[in-house]
């Protein structure tokens, strides 16, 4: 239902007005905002703040949620139990009741973890300044875990849940929950271990499955802690697996499983083109594109000495792929209307044309050195256009000598003028040479932006993110984050790295050439870098939409103007 309140009213006053409108009583209620994809987001913690201060505008959706807000500075976390997947909790908790759910315990399958289930344990309320070790100790006080024996908190592993999938392991026993970016409402699941564990920041927990030769299935998965601190290349992972299973690295074939698509991506050492100018090869890292290995990923393993097949798919994968194709076919058939059928039939008879794309041509700046041409012009002689031969690449160019000719028609009949005296034939002039020197002016302009830039001022950025459709929680993070941007020019490619406590991104592309980009708010777009005058311009296009970033240099600062629709934001950076 719709309700009209003043923008200056507080969250508490807005909640009271909404409770009166729907006829609810009591104090055990709080408000949450509905994000752009209609999912219930973070609670509005500051009940004394006005709606304007929280950037809540007309048309936003608020949800009345049962339960009181935790005190300021406290986190309300839901806790689940991970059963299976190498944990021995199942034997310790069988027969236990879920004391937070009326004595009824419902298990759910854990996505991405074969044979594992999730069981709810309840909720914990803890300060955001508490450490990860404090959180583990408080989790052990839940009624469902009273009979479970855990020697030390290091025997517990805590995962962060997204949906029903364990996605991230919380690391650092003495790090606070605030530094670990744990927010109120986050779902966590606990897993008991058979030994103590203290993972480093660059240690990745992988689930490894060895293929059964010739049967299209796998042995039960095993956990592998891979240390990628020094070397995150495919060779490092292959060596770690070879040492684990006592095999030769050359006899192993690896692949990463994508459960959403039911496909396996083969992991091999890929070749790179090395710049002749820098003579330096970029580091191959499995933590970055295209694999992005993270905690909980499944790695398939084949021994080529006994299994020559390079197909990692199982029967379940083939059935999942078939199901995805059927769903895609149903969406394709259901998308067009019946009225569009004759038009679609007529258009199918003609040859399909490729979509038109813009053509961008970058031309260098040329400087001409004319030597004695002034004296030739004074004599009324004009050189023919030189036939220029380009050797390719950069630097000095050479031209084929031409011969001087007279004008086709005299400008006047003055016989005293050397060029117009038709009775006097000029002596043949010696050939001349025209030198052309090319300078890459575009590269020089791009190099002016190459530096490390730190954000010092931001205006109207929240309205810009709201126009893009960014959720409330992400906007709050974006408003307080001060990123560092590193711009460089490598092998004729513009490289822009954005580093922040929220997320690190990197994009690179040649001027005028379109490339794929995944933005910080997880949009998949087509981007293009261009130079418009002295400004470095980046355009992102997706789903028929377009946003534009214009970077310009003013008084030693980089001013970045972001435009989308009718909203414009300005962010100012200084050199770090």
Asked if the model's pLDDT at residue 498 lies above 60, the reply is yes
pLDDT digits (tens, 9 = 90+) for 108-140: 777 777 778 898 888 898 998 999 999 999 998
- In terms of Cα–Cα distance, which of 263, 261, 240, 258 is closest to 297? 258
pLDDT digits (tens, 9 = 90+) for 31-42: 888 877 677 777
Report the mean per-residue pLDDT for the chain. Answer: 78
CB 286 within 8 A of CB 231: no
Asked if the model's pLDDT at residue 394 lies above 70, the reply is no
Asked if the model's pLDDT at residue 87 lies above 60, the reply is no
- In terms of Cα–Cα distance, which of 289, 274, 224 is closest to 252? 224
Which residues contact residue 391 at a Cβ distance below 8 angstroms, ignoring those fewer than 6 apart? 397, 398
Cα 424 from Cα 379, distance rounded (Å): 13
- For residue 352, the model assigns a pLDDT of 54
List Cβ<8 Å contacts ≥24 apart for 263-269. 263/313, 263/317, 263/321, 264/300, 264/312, 264/313, 264/317, 265/290, 265/291, 266/310, 266/312, 267/234, 267/237, 267/291, 267/299, 268/234, 269/233, 269/234, 269/235
pLDDT digits (tens, 9 = 90+) for 154-164: 999 999 998 78
Query: In order of start, what are the domains of the chain with their CATH numbers?
Result: 11-66 (no CATH), 74-192 (3.10.20.90), 203-269+284-316 (3.10.20.90), 365-439 (no CATH), 449-575 (2.40.128.20)
pTM of the model: 0.49
Asked if the model's pLDDT at residue 371 lies above 80, the reply is no
Least-confidence region, from 116-130, 205-219, 391-405: 391-405
Three-class secondary structure of residue 238 per DSSP: helix
pLDDT digits (tens, 9 = 90+) for 296-345: 999 999 999 998 888 999 999 999 999 999 999 998 887 544 444 444 44
Asked if the model's pLDDT at residue 540 lies above 70, the reply is yes
Cα 390 from Cα 177, distance rounded (Å): 63
Looking at residues 3-19, what average pLDDT do you find?
88
453 beta partners: 485, 575
- For residue 2, the model assigns a pLDDT of 82
What percentage of the chain has pLDDT greater than the value 90? 32
- For residue 278, the model assigns a pLDDT of 55
CB 568 within 8 A of CB 549: no
Radius of gyration, CA atoms only, the chain? 34
Asked if the model's pLDDT at residue 508 lies above 60, the reply is yes
Q: How confident is the model at residue 46 (pLDDT cuts 50, 70, 90)?
A: confident
CB-neighbour burial class of residue 331 (10 A; exposed 0-12, middle 13-18, buried 19+): exposed
- For residue 396, the model assigns a pLDDT of 39
């Amino acid at each position: 239902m719709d309700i009209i309140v003043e923008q200056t009213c507080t969250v508490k006053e807005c909640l009271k007005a909404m409770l009166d409108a729907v006829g609810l009583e009591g104090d055990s209620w709080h408000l949450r905002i509905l994000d752009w994809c209609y999912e219930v987001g973070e609670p509005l913690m500051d009940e004394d703040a006005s709606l304007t201060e929280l950037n809540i505008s007309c048309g936003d959706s608020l949800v009345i949620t049962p339960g009181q807000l935790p005190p300021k500075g406290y986190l309300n976390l839901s806790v689940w139990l991970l059963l299976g997947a190498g944990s021995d909790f199942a034997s310790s908790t069988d027969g236990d009741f879920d004391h937070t759910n009326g004595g009824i315990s419902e298990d759910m399958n854990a996505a991405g973890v074969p044979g594992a289930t999730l069981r709810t344990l309840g909720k914990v309320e803890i300060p955001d300044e508490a450490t990860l070790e404090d959180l583990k100790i408080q989790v052990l006080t839940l009624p469902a875990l009273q009979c479970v024996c855990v020697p030390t908190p290091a025997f517990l592993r805590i995962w962060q849940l997204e949906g029903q999938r364990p996605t991230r392991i919380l690391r650092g026993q003495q790090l606070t929950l605030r530094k670990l970016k744990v927010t109120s409402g986050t779902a966590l699941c606990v897993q008991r271990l058979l030994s103590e564990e203290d993972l480093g920041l660059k240690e990745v927990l992988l689930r490894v499955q060895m293929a059964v030769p010739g049967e299209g299935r796998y042995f039960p998965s095993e956990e592998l802690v891979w240390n990628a601190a020094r070397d995150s290349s495919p060779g490092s992972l292959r060596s770690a697996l070879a040492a684990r299973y006592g095999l030769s690295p050359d006899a192993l074939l690896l692949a990463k499983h994508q459960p959403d698509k039911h496909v396996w991506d083969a992991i091999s050492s890929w070749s790179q083109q090395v710049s002749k100018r820098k003579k330096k090869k970029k580091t191959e890292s499995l933590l970055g594109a295209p694999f992005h290995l993270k905690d909980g990923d499944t790695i398939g393993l084949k021994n080529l000495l006994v299994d020559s097949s390079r197909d990692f798919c199982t029967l379940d994968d083939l059935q999942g792929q078939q199901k995805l194709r059927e769903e895609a076919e149903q969406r394709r058939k259901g998308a067009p209307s019946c009225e569009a059928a004759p038009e679609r039939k007529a258009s199918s008879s003609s040859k399909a044309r490729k979509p038109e794309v813009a053509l961008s041509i970058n031309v260098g700046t040329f400087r001409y050195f004319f030597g004695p041409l002034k004296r030739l012009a004074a004599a009324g002689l004009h050189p023919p256009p030189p036939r220029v031969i380009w050797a390719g690449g950069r630097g000095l160019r050479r031209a084929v000598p031409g011969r001087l000719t007279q004008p086709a028609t005299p400008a006047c009949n003055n016989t005293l003028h050397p060029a117009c005296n038709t009775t006097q034939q000029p002596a043949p002039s010696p050939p001349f040479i025209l030198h052309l020197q090319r300078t890459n002016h575009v590269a020089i302009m791009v190099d002016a932006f190459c530096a490390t830039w730190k954000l010092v001022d931001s205006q109207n950025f929240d309205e810009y993110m709201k126009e893009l459709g960014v959720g409330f929680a992400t906007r709050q993070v974006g408003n307080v984050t001060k990123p560092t941007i590193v711009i460089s020019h490598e092998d004729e490619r513009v490289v822009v790295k954005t580093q922040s406590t929220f997320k690190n991104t990197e994009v690179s592309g040649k001027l005028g050439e379109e490339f794929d980009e995944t933005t910080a708010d997880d949009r998949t777009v087509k981007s293009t870098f261009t130079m418009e005058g002295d400004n470095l311009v980046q355009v992102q296009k997706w789903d028929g939409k377009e946003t534009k970033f214009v970077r310009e240099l003013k008084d030693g600062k980089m001013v970045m103007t972001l435009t989308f629709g009718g909203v414009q934001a300005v962010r100012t950076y200084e050199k770090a």
